[in-house]
Amino acid sequence: MEQNDQIEPLLATVHTLLLAEGADAAADVVRRYPAKAEQTGYDNWNGGTDYWHIQFKIPASDYARLGAKRSQLEEQITSRLRSVTEHEQNDCYSAVIVPDREFRADWRSSSKSDLSKKVRQNILDGLRLDDVDWSGRLNDVEFLSRLYDLEELPSTDSRYKDAAGDIWQHRCNNDDWESDWVYSDSRFCLADGGAELFLRFLCEMVHPLVRHNRDEALKLTEQFNDQLKGAGWELYQEELIAGRPRFAFRSLEHNGGRSVLRAKAVADALNAGWMAKQIERVEHAVDTDPELAIGTAKELVETCCKSILTKRGITFTKSDDMGDLTKKLTKALQLVPEGVSDAAKGAENVRLILRNLTQITSNLTQLRGLYGTGHGKDGHYRGLQPRHARLAVAAAVAFIDFVSETHRFREDSENTDKL
């Protein structure tokens, strides 16, 4: 006889007896926690008797809180088990309360405070407000199996042995859980677990396999980053899968951070694919290869100039250097506007800032020649540090950010004049 198939009627009866006799705490244990029958011995005297433990598995935190009361509850449940089964000569039951073996994917992590509950809640609330299907094209079991070992996580339904079973039952078979159930399920640690676990969940939400629509994935990533950047994190494009971005996460503390985010926005606005490739190189090189980052920062500015000149129908040649390209762009966009009146307060300061901004390109070219990639070095050469690379990247981004915004402003004005 499969004992575990027979214990539900037994436990239901025990629960009724305990309630009727006022043993509410013991009745609550029987009702709330999954139970399993385990044979612990056999006595062949007088026809033979099988000895069984009914194990009630409860979360470790609840087990600890019971303390000395645990023995009293076991005795109360055991007494009622034997009352119900006293006519069964071949079986003897005892109740045992044991801590459930927990597997939290972040149990070794001490980084819970790396991402505040407020930031997490804002992100999850945004998903609820927009009714975002977090598992995308996958079902809940398929999605979560990419992040967790569901067979090692406990079930909240006594009919199933693990999380894979109860999730399938309540989300795929019956669909009687709310769609956002996972956000508050303590097994998955999204609300109060380690920062890395929460960030992996977000990355998986915008994975190409989960969300085929590139624009939808990019929009979600932008919304996530709006909240994450204040906490020092970001999702970034690590690679392409079938032409769609796959995102990873990182701390903003040790990379180009906000500068790189601005550069990405410019590349998207200009629809400049080559700029996007250069931005990827900058991202990976700032800390690991400052020389490459400096050289790429200069190339980034050059590509931006050529992209805007092309969009404005202004010709340039292969022999045009950075100085030539900058002069053409300055003239085309009127970067030093003649319309700033001398009578306006600070007019001269405005003109000086704008003129100095155009010098960034020249300085980057010289810096690249001294320290960046593309030129041979003598035996006494010593490279720069990541902080210098970040300065070069920030300067390059300041330039491309300003000229791209000016280009859009001029473009909008020209389109309005045509109306």
CATH number at residue 95: 3.30.300
Q: Using the 3D structure, point to which of 188, 208, 229 is the last residue of a domain.
A: 229
**What spatial distance separates the first Cα and last Cα of the chain, rounded to whole Å?**
86
User: Above pLDDT 70, what percent of the chain?
Assistant: 73
Q: Are residues 122 and 198 in the same domain?
A: yes
Among 59-73, 238-252, 306-320, 370-384, name the one with the lowest average pLDDT: 370-384
Residue 288 lies in a domain: no
Host domain of residue 184: 112-229
Q: Are residues 82 and 121 in the same domain?
A: no
- DSSP output for 76-100: HHHHHHHHHHTT-TTEEEEEEEEEP
Q: Are residues 94 and 50 in the same domain?
A: yes
Q: Which residues of 358-394 are buried (b: 16+ CB within 10 A; e: fewer)?
A: bebbeebbebbeebbeeeeeeeeeeebebebbbebbb
Beta strand pairing call for 49-58 and 35-43: antiparallel
Helix and strand numbers, DSSP H then E, in the chain = 17, 5
Most confident range, picked from 111-125, 272-286, 375-389: 111-125
Q: Are residues 95 and 116 in the same domain?
A: no
The length of the chain, given as a count of residues:
419
Residue 287 lies in a domain: no
Residue 239 lies in a domain: no
Residue 248 lies in a domain: no
pLDDT for position 400:
79
Q: Are residues 216 and 326 in the same domain?
A: no
The domain total for the chain is 3
Residue 178 has pLDDT above 60, yes or no: yes
Q: Which residue has the tokens 């996007």?
A: 276
Residue 245 lies in a domain: no
Residue 285 lies in a domain: no
Q: Are residues 60 and 124 in the same domain?
A: no
Q: Are 184 and 191 in contact (CB under 8 A)?
A: yes
Q: Using the 3D structure, point to which of 99, 121, 138 is the last residue of a domain.
A: 99
Q: Are residues 121 and 224 in the same domain?
A: yes
**Strands laid side by side in the 49-58 sheet:** 35-43, 49-58, 91-99
Q: Are residues 311 and 410 in the same domain?
A: yes
Q: Are residues 303 and 394 in the same domain?
A: yes
Helix (H, G, I), strand (E, B), or coil: what is residue 36? strand
CA distance 411 to 399: 18
What one-letter code names the amino acid at 183? Y
Residue 257 has pLDDT above 80, yes or no: no
CA distance 103 to 77: 28
SS3 content of the chain, % helix, strand, coil (to 5): 60, 10, 30
Burial category of 62 from C-beta neighbours within 10 Å (exposed 0-12, middle 13-18, buried 19 and up)? middle
Instruction: Name the pTM for this structure.
Output: 0.43
For the segment 186-239, what is each residue's pLDDT rounded down to a tens digit?
Answer: 899 898 888 888 999 999 999 999 999 988 999 999 999 989 887 888 898 888
Residue 397 has pLDDT above 90, yes or no: no
Q: Using the 3D structure, point to which of 44, 66, 99 is the last residue of a domain.
A: 99
CA distance 107 to 122: 24
Phi/psi at 406 (5° precision): -65, -40
Residue 172 lies in a domain: yes
Q: Are residues 79 and 133 in the same domain?
A: no
Confidence of residue 378 (pLDDT cuts 50, 70, 90): very low
Higher pLDDT pick, 299 / 197: 197
Q: Are residues 414 and 297 in the same domain?
A: yes
Residue 65 has pLDDT above 70, yes or no: yes
Q: Are residues 77 and 182 in the same domain?
A: no
pLDDT for position 111:
44
For the segment 25-55, what is each residue's pLDDT rounded down to a tens digit?
Answer: 899 899 888 888 888 887 766 666 788 889 9
Residue 372 lies in a domain: yes
CA distance 255 to 393: 10
Helix (H, G, I), strand (E, B), or coil: what is residue 40? strand
Alpha-carbon dihedral 319, 397, 330, 406, rounded to 10 degrees: 140
Residue 20 has pLDDT above 80, yes or no: yes
